[in-house]
């Protein structure tokens, strides 16, 4: 008869081999479920989904999850995360209870599960608002962004979109950089956003949302006073927020083994940030994207910090950020991947093309790819092969590089 410790180790090894769980995910599973059930679940592809449904996953839900997984819209990090799978279960049961069926957009909600205030999604779900949002395709090519607008603003979406367009603010930029889950749980914050949207820069609204629940944040003061609050020691404040949320992860020093080749063109430069530069945690704020604490691409920020074969490539003019990219080496170290390029001040990829090309030319890596994410780019050569992943250090997985282009292939530059 095997000892309890031996059974635990057998389950852990099985989980690592068959489902690619991180150690932290395995601990979550081991604490939440009966060991024999865990052992049985690890013989199936979607172990956690089977566990939370006690091996009786509704057929329609299993079909949805399998289809999303095959399309890489529900990744390994999603299917192995206990919180995410519980979110999916809650969404499914709530919609079936209230409406008796699933909405057509349900597969997108499954993909967005980590970004949602689950208990409010069904409660605040508004069909008219959602139909309006789904018709914003010209402004928002991504279904996810359109759905997020409806979930975030409900019937106020008409006023919000009108204000953004009136003041020539980017609809995509606003929702892509949203640093909170939706629907919003705080009516006071929602009222503040709607009253300031359009007339206030998107990035300033994001910063107010970020600090809204700080004990000393001046909620009822002028925008000027609020801005002064979060501008003070910005890097240090954000680093402290990260440390507070993940105290075990933020133990200096971090390491980065990616070979850097800092280049300069006139007053512009491109280089890999020092692995202990606190600027790393505000790159998402500076480029108004979701690569920040509490946002959907938080895992990319954490992976870039913790993974020694990952980091952050920045493009600057003097000290002003032009663009940035979370970069990582594939597990076999054969290819360097720029997961995406996030541009500050609503720039386009072409705006940094000279700097990017020079950096690629001088890079010691013979193979370099770039994820196109939500950017419409016309450079490089399409990659027609499966993604080679990075070795995952953080418990959640993220990528914008499902669709990629070659920037450099066998030392041939393709920009």
Contact, 253 vs 276, CB < 8 A? yes
Better-scored residue on pLDDT, 268 or 10:
268
Evaluated on CA atoms 142, 147, 152, 155, the torsion sign reads positive
DSSP code per residue over 146-196: HHHHHHHHGGGHHHHHHHHHHTT--HHHHHHT--S-BS-S-HHHHHHHHHH
Averaged over 253-261, what is the pLDDT? 93
Q: By 3-state DSSP, what share of the chain in percent is helix, strand and coil, each rounded to 5?
A: 50, 10, 40
CA atoms of 358 and 408, how far apart (whole Å):
12
* DSSP code, position 346: G
pLDDT at position 109 is: 96
CA atoms of 338 and 371, how far apart (whole Å):
6
Contact, 124 vs 183, CB < 8 A? yes
Q: Token pair for residue 357? A: 């090309």
- Residue 351's contacts (CB-CB under 8 Å, 6 or more residues apart) are 322, 323, 343
Averaged over 193-212, what is the pLDDT? 94
CA atoms of 46 and 26, how far apart (whole Å):
14
The predicted-structure confidence for 280-309, as pLDDT tens digits, reads as follows: 999 999 998 889 998 888 999 999 999 999
Burial 280-318 (b: 16+ CB within 10 A, else e): bbbbbbbbbbbbbbbbbbbbbbbbbbbbebbbbbbbbee
Q: Token pair for residue 393? A: 């250090």
Q: Which value, in Å, is the radius of gyration of the alpha carbons in the chain?
A: 22
Cα 220 to chain centroid, rounded: 31
User: Strand, coil or helix: what is 89?
Assistant: helix
pLDDT at position 9 is: 52
pLDDT at position 10 is: 53
Would the pLDDT of 313 be above 80?
yes
Question: Across the chain, which distance is largest between two alpha carbons, in Å?
Answer: 72
pLDDT at position 20 is: 60
CA atoms of 324 and 305, how far apart (whole Å):
15
The predicted-structure confidence for 259-269, as pLDDT tens digits, reads as follows: 998 999 888 99
CA atoms of 167 and 169, how far apart (whole Å):
6
Distances (CA, A) of 338 to 256, 353, 385: 15, 14, 16
Assign 230 a pLDDT band (cuts: 50, 70, 90). confident
Q: Token pair for residue 115? A: 């970004």
Better-scored residue on pLDDT, 15 or 150:
150
Contact, 227 vs 204, CB < 8 A? yes
Q: Token pair for residue 8? A: 């635990």
pTM of the model as a whole? 0.80
Averaged over 168-197, what is the pLDDT? 92
| CA quadruple 47, 62, 76, 240: dihedral, nearest 10 | -90
Better-scored residue on pLDDT, 90 or 177:
90
* DSSP code, position 100: S
User: Which residue is associated with the tokens 């609204």?
Assistant: 205
Would the pLDDT of 28 be above 80?
no
pLDDT at position 221 is: 94
pLDDT at position 226 is: 93
Would the pLDDT of 125 be above 80?
yes
Nearest Cα to Cα of residue 381 among 358, 410, 404:
404
- Give me the percent of the chain exceeding a pLDDT of 70: 93
Assign 2 a pLDDT band (cuts: 50, 70, 90). very low
Residue 237's Cβ-side half-sphere holds a number of Cα atoms within 13 Å equal to 15
The predicted-structure confidence for 62-108, as pLDDT tens digits, reads as follows: 999 999 988 878 877 788 788 889 999 999 999 999 999 999 999 99
Distances (CA, A) of 235 to 190, 217, 345: 26, 17, 19
The predicted-structure confidence for 359-404, as pLDDT tens digits, reads as follows: 999 999 999 999 987 666 678 888 988 878 898 888 888 888 888 9
The predicted-structure confidence for 350-365, as pLDDT tens digits, reads as follows: 789 999 999 999 999 9
Cα 252 to chain centroid, rounded: 23
- Give me the percent of the chain exceeding a pLDDT of 90: 60
Contact, 395 vs 26, CB < 8 A? no
The predicted-structure confidence for 179-189, as pLDDT tens digits, reads as follows: 888 999 999 99
DSSP code per residue over 279-333: GGGGHHHHTTSS-STTSTTHHHHHHHHH-TTEEEEEEEETTEEEEEEEEEE-TTS
Averaged over 47-74, what is the pLDDT? 91
Assign 18 a pLDDT band (cuts: 50, 70, 90). low
């Amino acid at each position: 008869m095997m000892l309890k410790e031996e059974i635990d180790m057998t389950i852990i090894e099985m989980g690592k081999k068959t489902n690619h769980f991180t150690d932290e995910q395995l601990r979550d599973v081991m604490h939440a479920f009966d060991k024999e059930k865990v052992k049985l679940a690890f013989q199936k592809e979607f172990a956690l989904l089977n566990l939370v449904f006690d091996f009786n996953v509704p057929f329609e839900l299993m079909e949805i999850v399998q289809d999303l997984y095959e399309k890489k819209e529900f990744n390994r990090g999603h299917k192995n995360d206990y919180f995410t799978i519980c979110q999916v279960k809650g969404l499914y049961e709530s919609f079936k209870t209230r409406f008796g069926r699933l909405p057509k957009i349900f597969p997108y909600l499954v993909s967005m599960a980590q970004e949602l205030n689950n208990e409010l999604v069904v409660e605040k779900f508004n069909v008219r608002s959602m139909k309006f949002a789904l018709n914003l395709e010209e402004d928002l090519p991504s279904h996810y962004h359109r759905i997020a607008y409806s979930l975030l603003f409900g019937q106020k979406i008409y006023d919000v979109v009108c204000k953004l367009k009136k003041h020539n603010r980017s609809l995509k930029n606003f929702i892509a950089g949203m640093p909170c889950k939706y629907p919003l749980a705080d009516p006071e914050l929602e009222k503040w956003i709607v009253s300031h949207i359009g007339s206030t820069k998107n990035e300033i609204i994001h910063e107010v949302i970020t600090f809204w629940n700080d004990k000393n944040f001046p909620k009822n003061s002028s925008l000027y006073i609020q801005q002064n609050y979060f501008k003070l020691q910005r890097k240090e404040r954000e680093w402290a927020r990260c440390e507070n949320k993940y105290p075990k992860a933020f133990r200096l020093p971090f390491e980065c083994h990616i070979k850097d080749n800092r280049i300069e063109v006139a007053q512009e430069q491109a280089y890999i940030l020092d692995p202990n530069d606190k600027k790393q945690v505000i790159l998402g704020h500076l480029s108004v994207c979701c690569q920040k604490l509490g946002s959907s691409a938080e895992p990319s920020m954490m992976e870039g910090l913790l993974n020694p074969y990952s980091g952050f490539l920045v493009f600057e003019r003097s000290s002003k950020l032009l663009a940035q990219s979370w970069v990582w080496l594939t597990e076999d170290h054969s290819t360097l991947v720029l997961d995406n390029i996030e541009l500050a001040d609503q720039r386009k990829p072409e705006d940094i093309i000279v700097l990017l090309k020079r950096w690629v030319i001088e890079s010691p890596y013979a193979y370099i790819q770039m994820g196109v994410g939500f950017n419409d780019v016309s450079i490089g050569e399409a990659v027609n092969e499966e993604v080679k992943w990075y070795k995952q250090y953080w418990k959640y997985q993220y990528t914008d590089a499902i669709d990629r282009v070659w920037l450099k292939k066998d030392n041939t530059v393709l920009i």
